[in-house]
């Protein structure tokens, strides 16, 4: 096991890039606007309402407002269809003749159309199935090479784009609730198990996807459906830049949940030591590179806080992997998870000097093999 080293961590992360910090700093400044709005409401609106002695006819919403709402929905749907068409053409990995792949639409619990992929070996007995939950702002197609390596070792693979990601429904980069993603993951897992009876299943999550998987696996009925979970660079112990920001974030997530902060860094910090992998990620039209949306940022803070408070209650078998030079999520938080979790079957591997996107580092094949070895080790115990 590589040893952990102390790294200069940013105070807050977004899972896929370090964009929450400027957002929350802006929220802190915007608190003045909230105070002004409510003060104006109390001073001018309420007194006027009390002075009105006769009934007031309530007018229906103006037609321009209705038009703008309809127009917004049309634009969102058009963008979803555009992204779905692009997702269909994403490469499914180098075809060495040993796997078959497919894409399909799965309808989540709120009837959202979620774009999904699968890869299966052509021959040989299936050892197990790995279900991939990608990180914030990316999509399932980025894991095609990882899936190819898994199929070569006789593992089947499924992957699902979250709502608002890849080829799935929703405003690009907008996550109304990570609990929705957890519920969709549960439904997707149930579908896979029903179609592959008797085949052991594992959940894999990267970054914010790792937080989703860890919270999902804390639910007893989901834990019973998997043999273990794999977490790469999980988004744990995410903290706001200042305590007041944490208090204000829930308010803004309700008032303006989809709002983007134009001052936020679109590209973020390095997530891989492989420059070609970095270029491929940030030139991918299915990777969201715009400013993070308010509700999305709040959801990351919320799930991270919940998980950090409940490390000791984790009992699911897990393997957590983290680079010690990761500036996006905290490797020390992964160490705390490993040390505090009550799981009887657990492992951790820290990669000295590696960055955030472990499966896109120059040594990605060795890291993928570490994951395969862990799953085979876990299967040998059941």
Vertex 149: Cα angle to 146 and 154 (nearest 5)? 125
Predicted confidence at residue 76, as pLDDT, reads 81
> What is this structure's pTM?
0.81
50 has pLDDT over 70:
no
* Whole-number Å distance between alpha carbons of 353 and 334: 15
Contacts of 259 (CB under 8 A, 6+ apart): 252, 293, 294
30-44, 149-163, 184-198: which range is least confident on average?
30-44
Predicted confidence at residue 52, as pLDDT, reads 43
> Residue 316 CB: number of other CB atoms within 10 A?
24
| Contact present, 185 and 209 (Cβ < 8 Å) | no
61-75, 163-177, 289-303, 358-372: which range is least confident on average?
61-75
Mean pLDDT over the full length of the chain: 83
DSSP-derived letter for residue 61 is P
* Whole-number Å distance between alpha carbons of 96 and 206: 26
Nearest-10 Cα torsion for 97, 104, 205, 163: 150
Q: 90-379 is classed in which CATH architecture?
A: 3-Layer(aba) Sandwich (3.40)
Q: Which helix (H) or strand (E) holds 23?
A: helix 20-40
Q: Is residue 284 classed exposed, middle or buried when 0-12, 13-18 and 19+ CB atoms within 10 A define those classes?
A: middle
Q: Which helix (H) or strand (E) holds 155?
A: strand 155-160
Q: What is the pLDDT of residues 124-142, one digit of tens each?
A: 899 999 999 999 999 999 9
Vertex 216: Cα angle to 212 and 217 (nearest 5)? 120
Predicted confidence at residue 291, as pLDDT, reads 83
* Whole-number Å distance between alpha carbons of 133 and 188: 11
Q: What is the pLDDT of residues 215-241, one digit of tens each?
A: 999 999 999 999 999 999 999 998 765
Predicted confidence at residue 77, as pLDDT, reads 87
Residue 204 phi/psi, 5-degree rounding, is -125, 135
| Contact present, 304 and 235 (Cβ < 8 Å) | yes
Enter the tokens of residue 25.
């700093």
| Contact present, 355 and 323 (Cβ < 8 Å) | yes
């Amino acid at each position: 096991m590589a040893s952990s080293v102390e790294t200069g961590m940013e105070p807050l992360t977004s899972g896929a890039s370090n964009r929450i910090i400027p957002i929350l700093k802006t929220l802190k400044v915007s608190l003045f606007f909230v105070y002004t709005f409510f003060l104006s409401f109390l001073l001018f609106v309420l007194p006027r309402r009390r002075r009105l002695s006769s009934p007031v006819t309530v007018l229906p919403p103006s037609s321009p407002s209705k038009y703008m709402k309809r127009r917004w929905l049309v634009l969102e749907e058009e963008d979803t269809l555009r992204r779905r068409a692009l997702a269909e053409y994403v490469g499914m990995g180098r075809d060495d003749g040993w796997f078959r792949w497919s894409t399909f639409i799965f309808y989540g619990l709120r009837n959202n159309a979620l774009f999904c992929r699968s890869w299966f070996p052509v021959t040989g007995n299936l050892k197990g199935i790995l279900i991939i939950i990608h990180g914030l702002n990316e999509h399932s197609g980025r894991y095609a090479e990882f899936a190819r390596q898994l199929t070569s070792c006789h593992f089947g693979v499924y992957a699902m784009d979250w709502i608002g990601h890849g080829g799935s429904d929703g405003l690009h980069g907008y996550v109304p609730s990570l609990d929705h993603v957890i519920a969709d993951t549960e439904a997707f897992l149930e579908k896979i198990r029903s179609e592959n009876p008797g085949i052991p299943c594992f959940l894999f999550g990267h970054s914010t996807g790792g937080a989703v998987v860890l919270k999902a696996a804390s639910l007893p009925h989901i834990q019973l459906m998997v043999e273990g979970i794999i977490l790469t660079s999980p988004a744990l112990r995410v903290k706001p830049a200042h305590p007041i920001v944490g208090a204000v974030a829930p308010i803004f997530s309700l008032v303006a949940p989809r709002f983007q902060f134009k001052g936020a860094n679109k590209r973020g910090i390095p997530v891989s030591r492989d420059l070609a992998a970095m270029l491929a990620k940030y030139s991918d039209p299915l990777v969201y590179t715009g400013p993070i949306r308010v509700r999305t940022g709040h959801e990351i803070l919320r799930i991270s806080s919940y998980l950090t408070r409940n490390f000791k209650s984790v009992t699911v078998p897990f393997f957590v992997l983290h680079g010690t030079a990761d500036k996006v999520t905290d490797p020390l938080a992964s160490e705390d998870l490993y040390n505090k979790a009550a799981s009887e079957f657990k492992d951790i591997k820290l990669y000295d000097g590696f960055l955030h996107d472990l499966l896109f580092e120059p040594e990605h094949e060795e890291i993928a093999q570490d994951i395969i070895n862990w799953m085979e080790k876990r299967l040998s115990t059941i």
